[in-house]
Chain A
Amino acid sequence: MSFLNQNILTWIVLSPFIAALLLIITPPNRGALIRWIALLGAGLTLPLSILVAILYNRQQGGFQFQRDVPWINSLGIQYHVGVDGISVVLVLLTAIIITAGVFASWRVQNRTKEFLALLLFLVSGVFGVFVSLDLFFFFLFYEIAVLPMYLLIGIWGTGRKEYSAMKLTLYLLFGSAFILVGILSLYFVSPQHTFDLLTLQRSGRFSYAFQRIIFLAFYIGFGILAGIWPLHTWSPDGHASAPTAVSMLHAGVLMKLGAYGILRVGVGLLPGGAHTWAFLMGAIATINILYGAFSAMGQTDFKYVVAYSSVSHMGVVMLGIASLNPVGVNGAVMQMFSHGIMTGLFFAVVGLVYEKSHTRDILKMGGFAKRMPGVAVAMTIGGLASFGLPATSGFIAEFMVFWGMWHTFPVLAALSVIGIVLTAVYVLRILQKIFLGPFTEQYHDLADAQKTEWVAITALAALLILVGVMPSPLVNLIRLGLHGFHLNI
């Protein structure tokens, strides 16, 4: 049992990685084999993550399943992994999305092997970030998660893919520079000269002036990945150009890395800095919510609408973090989960619609519900979660965020509540333009989703409702993760 306890996280990280290595040595013409290896590598993480979520000891709380192997002692670097309630939820999310993502890319024909291998490399980086308790590995995995995106978008993307890939990569590397500076300064300023997150959190009482500056570095660095205004413009272009599975993974999981980084490293290690900049974060998050929603309203490209909705929803996540209130932060993590699933579903649907209609211009579509009723239902459920309809996961997340924010900055909370109308407007607009109304006859060969695609969209849609109706398992898990943070009560 202790063997399992110590290594399960490593397996989660390695499973996609090994699958990717296997893919590299698989002959490229064995299409079915390639897909099954990828599915296995990705899918294996799902039962493992569920196992982690089940075995996580709720009485004990804190970081569990820890594994601490010294790597470079002289530099204080160690392979230290472990999860608390927050990470468990996010690991679970990642496992769900990557599995759904492999299903959604079942029919990628162009260089399938390389595509899936890169996807798996990427996701093992994502897992790595969520489980790392050592800032060195945290950063290493972070870069692994970010970099394959360049190739994935640049080669398999659509539209202005080279431009988007370049923009996204440069933007995120620009952010990484800030993060690296932050991590190194933590390392050098801490008395122990360690990268260990727990040690830093326990004993690293950093001076207030230091916290104020370094928190800002982390906020900008991670914030870029989280899509904070005005550093968000890589995301619409990137998400719009990326192939389906990559958009799912990127909007669904990668943007959460940013928010997670701000929470874990920023708020966790530099609470003083976080409290100083809370209002700024809240104000920017409010702008994100409203600005993203308005932008989404002004788009005519289906994928851009979804991409801007991510900007808006990540605003809710950041709003929750900015509230520095246990309920708000809990809501923020819930929103990470909910938005991950929801956006995964959205992009899966966009992919299906695009594949069959060959257009993404919502003004040219109409009445698709007649030919793809299943997809329309899934999209509707995603849409409902998007504007926070009760009984979907989006509602409880948003409600907790607003509730938490109300205690910290009521004015910002009141302003961002307006977002729920705007979101309803643009979500209903795309639903109406694409799926409702008279059927456009030119799309006569439109068909509903097929076998493997069903698995992806049904599972995601069902999860949205399941979590919406029964949020308490997740909320309780997240609550256990909040003890280490210095939050307002």
Chain B
Amino acid sequence: MTGFIHWLAWIPLLPLCAAIITGVMALARKSERAAPFITIAATLISLFISAAVLARFLGGTTQNHLEVSFHWLQAGRFSINLGVDLTHLAALMAVLVGLVSSLVQIYSIGYMHGDGGYGRYFAYLALFTASMLGLVVANNLFQLYVCWELVGICSYLLIGFWFHKKSAADAAKKAFVVTRFGDVGFMLGVLILSSFTGSFSYNQVEQTLSKVAIGAIQPPFFSPATFLAVAALLLFAGAVGKSAQFPLHIWLPDAMEGPTPVSALIHAATMVAAGVYMVARLYPIFLLSSFALGVIAWIGAITAFIAATIAIVQTDIKKVLAYSTVSQLGYMMIGLGVGGYVAGVFHLATHAMFKALLFLAAGSVIHAMGTNDLREMGGLHRKMPITSLTCLAGILALAGFPGFAGFWSKDEVLGVALSNGQTLIFVIGVLSAGITAFYSLRLWLMAFSGRPRSASAEHAHEAPAVMTIPLIILAIGALFGGLMNFPHPFIGSLLNPAEHEQINLVAMGLSTAVGLTGLAWAWLLYAKPEMAQDPVERMPVSLYRTFANLWGVDAFFTNGVARWALNIGRMVAWFDRHVVDGAVNGAAWMCGASGRTLRRFTNGQAQFYAAVMIVAILLAVWLVLGAMQPPNLTAAAPTRWAVTTTLGGRAR
């Protein structure tokens, strides 16, 4: 194992090198054709290393993590080691990231063919992968934060990839700024924890915090319980932004402006997974505060439900998928929040498979159609069978159809919620599962069944092999992803041998029933050859409007917070120009004004000057005399008097 350890650092570094090389190539506009081969090769090697590590862990090695780190910076108590710490969780996640990323890159060769920014695109993708891998393998809060931000900026660059489109540039900015809101909390969390514990290392932080929890160390300002809750919730704030949890979920649907494979990457394995992964990775910290866990579970439940309802009324194929991601992320948070660590991570893993699949399938459709609008599709099943069938696999996994990947993981999340007594959250989860089933089948039926509803749908054709092969691979994942934990709990034994959940049959039965109802309902409404009007538009107007307006959250941020901030900006600018600078100019004006007033005395009349002089002398003499005793006029008195008055009269 010792020789092996030197390879670990290359897991994030290889994609990084590829990103730098292809980035320079793209800037110089030289041999951009070669870019994908470099980045894919790097990602595959990196995937191979992490897969080898995972295989060792699964093979039952006694080591529970592989760590290598080096000293990066030291300034007094501020000491930072960067490093790689592959725990079981990290290895699993690294494999997922590498897998999805390399498939997305292969797919992109076809999808981005002929785009003006071909080389730049792959450089960004490689950088994105590198950042995410760096985050996954991090062994300290500092590196976590660094990669966290890098993931954010990569998503900015990729969402705004077609920067000449105003909507893309806006969406990129929105995504970055909204997640940055969460990052403020995250940074504060890192500051609190690192300055309190004096270290950035996960292990040290966790050890010190567990001492706080048992009362061995007293934290500053707060009681131990409050301190732990505050620290955990500040960290979670970062996850709320990054993993698009309510109320910061608003950026994710806009992020659809990026190229579709990027959406697949963002939604499946990199950007949004980062938040969930962070909570999972730092789970020992969160476990110390039951309050924080409760908040996480509830935020997750709210997110899961709201996003699912919004997804029903979307007509843009990517938006439906985007809201489904938000909703599924909610499930992961529920899982983590109710204490189902394994369940949350399991769902993260299966979701990565089927969501990447769904986005790539959607990309294939969009590539063929040239539009995102579901209402213009229809009948694509006959034109593009591979896409249609693989997409169906993804849809059924998302809907939780028995046997598919999502079924196992979602039911495990809900099962844990029920067994741990969070009945209300369980009910919300089950309801959302039903809605999810409804809108996912709706998507498939609108796109692939019935008759073509537009000319471009008539003339659509199947994507090239470089795009369909990743689809097929991912479809296998969506079909059999459940095997990761059922019947043999690979993930469970890997992550937490102690938490061995029995299948909760009540939860599974209920959610399956509700899910099947949703599917049946969608089938009834949408499985028709012709469709004049989208059936969901027949629901009560107020409800439809609430869903279509995203429950008002987006409006609150764009019209409320954003406009408010800009207005504050304008006000401050005005204040600066007129009040602060006004005071400065006022001071200058006062100097000028006193000059203008005083210069009247300089009227050029010599006689006036003389008169002023005389008056002044008389005044001075009068003042001096007033301050003195009457002069004693002896023989030498006048002289002495003159001398004393001029030199020292007042001083005496």
Q: Are B76 and A403 in contact (CB under 8 A)?
A: no
Interface residues of B in 564-583 (CB under 8 A from A): 565-566, 568-574, 576, 580-581, 583
Chain B CB within 8 A of A138 CB: no
- Kindly name the residue among A291, A424, A471 whose own CB sees the greatest number of chain B CB atoms within 10 A: A424
A137: chain B residues at CB < 8 Å are: none
Residue B160 CB within 8 A of the other chain? yes
Return chain B residues, CB-CB under 8 Å to A436. Answer: 160, 163-164, 166, 168-169, 172
Question: What residues of B have a CB within 8 angstroms of the CB of A326 in the complex?
Answer: 75-77
Contact A170 B170 (CB under 8 A): no
User: A402 an interface residue at 8 Å Cβ cutoff?
Assistant: yes
* Distance, CA A452 to CA B633, complexed state (A): 87
Tell me the smallest distance from the CB of A257 to a CB of chain B, in Å: 21
Which residues does chain A contribute within 8 Å of B574, judged by CB atoms? Answer: 298
Do B572 and A395 touch across chains, with their CB atoms under 8 A apart?
no
Q: In the complex, what residues of B have CB within 8 A of residue A291's CB?
A: 572, 576
**What is the CA–CA distance of A321 and B202 in the complex, to the nearest angstrom?**
29
The one of B76, B145, B163, B188 in contact with A479, judged by C-beta atoms closer than 8 angstroms, is: B76
Chain A residues with CB under 8 Å of B17's CB are none
CB of A205 within 8 Å of the partner chain: no
A291-B572, A400-B75 known; A417-B184 Cβ under 8 A = yes
Q: Which of B153, B169, B181, B183 has the most CB of A within 10 A?
A: B169
| Contacting residues of chain A (384-434) with chain B, CB-CB under 8 angstroms | 384, 389-391, 395-396, 399-400, 402-404, 406-407, 410, 413-414, 417-418, 420-422, 424-426, 428-429, 432
Q: Which residue of A lies closest to B157 (CB)?
A: A380
Question: Would you give the shortest CB distance from B20 to chain A, in whole angstroms?
Answer: 10
Which of B164, B183, B566 has the most chain A CB atoms closer than 10 A to its own CB?
A: B164
Q: Is the CB of B568 within 8 A of A294?
A: yes
A236: chain B residues at CB < 8 Å are 576
A443 interfacial contact with B, CB 8 Å: no
Partner of A297, one of B78, B191, B569, B581: B569
User: Is B4 in contact with chain A by the CB < 8 A criterion?
Assistant: no
Task: Determine whether B5 belongs to the interface, using a CB cutoff of 8 Å to chain A.
Answer: no
Q: Tell me whether A391 and B150 are in contact in the complex, defined as CB-CB below 8 angstroms, given that A435-B163, A436-B164 are known contacts.
A: yes
Known: A295-B576, A417-B188, A428-B173. A472 touches B73 (CB 8 A): yes
User: Quick one: which of B52-81 are within 8 Å of A by CB?
Assistant: 72-78
Q: Could you mark each residue 466-480 of chain A with 1 if its beta carbon is under 8 Å from any beta carbon of chain B, else 0?
A: 000001100110110
Q: Is B146 an interface residue (CB 8 A)?
A: yes
Interface string of B160-184 (1 = CB under 8 A from A): 1001111011101100110011011
Residues of A within 8 A of B77 (CB): 326-327, 489
Complex formed: what's the CA distance from A446 to B568 in Å? 34
Tell me which residues across on chain B come within 8 A of A439, comparing CB atoms. 164
- Contact check, B191 vs A390: say whether CB atoms are below 8 A apart: no
> Cβ of B576: which chain A residues have Cβ within 8 Å of it?
233, 236, 291, 295
Whether A297 and B588, one on each chain, are in contact in the complex, defined by CB atoms closer than 8 angstroms, is: no
Distance A19 CA – B173 CA, assembled complex (angstroms): 46
Give chain A residues whose Cβ lies under 8 Å from the Cβ of B176.
Answer: 424, 428
Interface size on B, residues (CB 8 A): 54
Hey, which chain B residues are within 8 Å of A489, CB to CB? 76-77
Interface residues of B in 455-490 (CB under 8 A from A): none
Among A136-183, those with CB < 8 Å from B are: 167, 170-171
CA distance A377 to B123 in the complex (A): 14
Q: A233-B584, A298-B566, A438-B164 are in contact. Are A432 and B169 (CB under 8 A)?
A: yes
A135-B73 Cα distance, complex, nearest whole Å:
34
Q: Does B503 reach chain A (CB closer than 8 Å)?
A: no
Docked pose: A297 CA to B184 CA in angstroms: 18
Complex-state Cα separation, A428 to B159, whole angstroms: 13
Whether B570 contacts A421 by the Cβ 8 Å rule is no
- With A403-B194, A429-B173, A472-B73 already in contact, the answer to whether A417 and B163 are too (CB < 8 A) is no
B258 to chain A, nearest CB (A): 13
Cα–Cα distance between A417 and B190 once the two chains are bound (Å): 12
Q: Does A370 contact B (CB under 8 A)?
A: yes
Task: Kindly state the separation between the CA atoms of A230 and B576 in the bound complex, as whole angstroms.
Answer: 9
Which residues of B in the span 120-176 have a Cβ within 8 Å of any Cβ on A?
142, 145-147, 149-150, 153, 156, 160, 163-166, 168-170, 172-173, 176
CB <8 Å contact, B145 and A421: no
Q: Judge if A87 is at the interface, Cβ distance under 8 Å.
A: no
Which residues of chain A have C-beta atoms less than 8 A from B145's C-beta?
A: 390
Q: Which of A373, A391, A406, A421 contacts B146 (CB 8 A)?
A: A391
* Nearest A residue to B163, CB-CB: A436
Q: Assess whether A395 is in contact with B166, with CB atoms less than 8 Å apart.
A: no
Say yes or no for B195: interface residue by CB 8 A criterion.
yes
Known: A377-B27, A390-B145. A294 touches B195 (CB 8 A): no
Q: A298 near B572 (CB under 8 angstroms)?
A: yes
Please tell me if B536 contacts chain A, counting CB pairs below 8 Å.
no
CA distance A438 to B162 in the complex (A): 10
A369 touches B (CB below 8 Å): yes
Instruction: Please report the C-alpha to C-alpha distance between residue A308 and residue B570 in the assembled complex, in whole angstroms.
Output: 13
B366 interface hit (Cβ, 8 Å): no
Query: Which of B72, B168, B581 makes the CB contact (< 8 A) with A472?
Result: B72
Are B146 and A390 neighbours in the complex by a CB distance under 8 Å? yes
Q: Mark B93-124, 1 if CB is under 8 A from A, else 0.
A: 00000000000000000000000000000000
Partner of B177, one of A170, A396, A406, A425: A425
Q: Is A41 at the interface (CB under 8 A from chain B)?
A: no
User: Given A417-B187, A421-B184, does the pair A233, B580 have CB atoms closer than 8 Å?
Assistant: yes
Task: Evaluate contact between A438 and B180: CB separation under 8 angstroms.
Answer: no
**Cα–Cα, bound, A297→B580 (Å):** 17
Interface of B is mostly: helix
In this assembly, does A223 line the interface, its C-beta being within 8 Å of a C-beta of chain B?
no
Note all chain A residues with C-beta closer than 8 A to B192: 406
Tell me the minimal C-beta distance from A34 to chain B in angstroms. 33
Given contacts A406-B191, A437-B164, contact A294 B572 (CB under 8 A): yes
- Decide if A390 touches B150 in the complex (CB within 8 Å): yes
List chain B residues, Cβ under 8 A from A295: 569, 572-573, 576
Flag if A298 contacts B571 (CB, 8 Å): yes
User: Cβ of B581: which chain A residues have Cβ within 8 Å of it?
Assistant: 233, 237
- Name the B residues within 8 Å of A252 (CB-CB): none
Interface centre among A170, A296, A421, A472 (most CB of B within 10 A): A421
Residues in chain B near residue A234, CB distance under 8 A: 584
In the complex, chain B residues whose CB is within 8 Å of the CB of A373: 27
Identify the interface centre among B168, B170, B584: most chain A CB within 10 Å of its CB. B584
| Chain A residues, Cβ within 8 Å of B146 | 390-391, 395
- A475 to B, closest residue via Cβ: B75
Give the residue name and chain of the A residue nearest to B178 (CB).
A421
- Distance in angstroms from B11 CB to nearest chain A CB is 18
Assembled-state Cα–Cα distance A369/B194 (Å): 40
Q: Any chain B CB within 8 A of the CB of A6? A: no
Whether B75 contacts A298 by the Cβ 8 Å rule is no
Residues of B within 8 A of A229 (CB): 580
Contact present for B187 and A297 (CB under 8 Å): no
Those 6 A-B pairs whose CB atoms lie nearest each other, nearest first: A297-B569, A298-B573, A298-B569, A390-B146, A436-B169, A294-B572
With A404-B78, A436-B160, A437-B165 known, 6 other A-B pairs at CB within 8 A are: A229-B580, A230-B583, A298-B570, A414-B188, A479-B75, A489-B77
| Residue ranges of B at the interface with A (Cβ–Cβ < 8 Å) | 27, 72-78, 142, 145-147, 149-150, 153, 156, 160, 163-166, 168-170, 172-173, 176-177, 180-181, 183-184, 187-188, 191-192, 194-195, 221, 565-566, 568-574, 576, 580-581, 583-584, 588
19 A-B contacts (beta carbon < 8 Å): A233-B581, A295-B573, A297-B566, A327-B75, A330-B75, A389-B149, A390-B147, A391-B146, A396-B73, A406-B191, A425-B177, A426-B569, A432-B173, A435-B163, A438-B164, A438-B166, A471-B73, A472-B72, A489-B77
- Taking Cβ atoms with an 8 Å cutoff, the residues of A that contact B are 167, 170-171, 229-230, 232-234, 236-237, 291, 294-299, 308, 326-327, 330, 367, 369-370, 373-374, 377, 384, 389-391, 395-396, 399-400, 402-404, 406-407, 410, 413-414, 417-418, 420-422, 424-426, 428-429, 432, 435-439, 471-472, 475-476, 478-479, 489
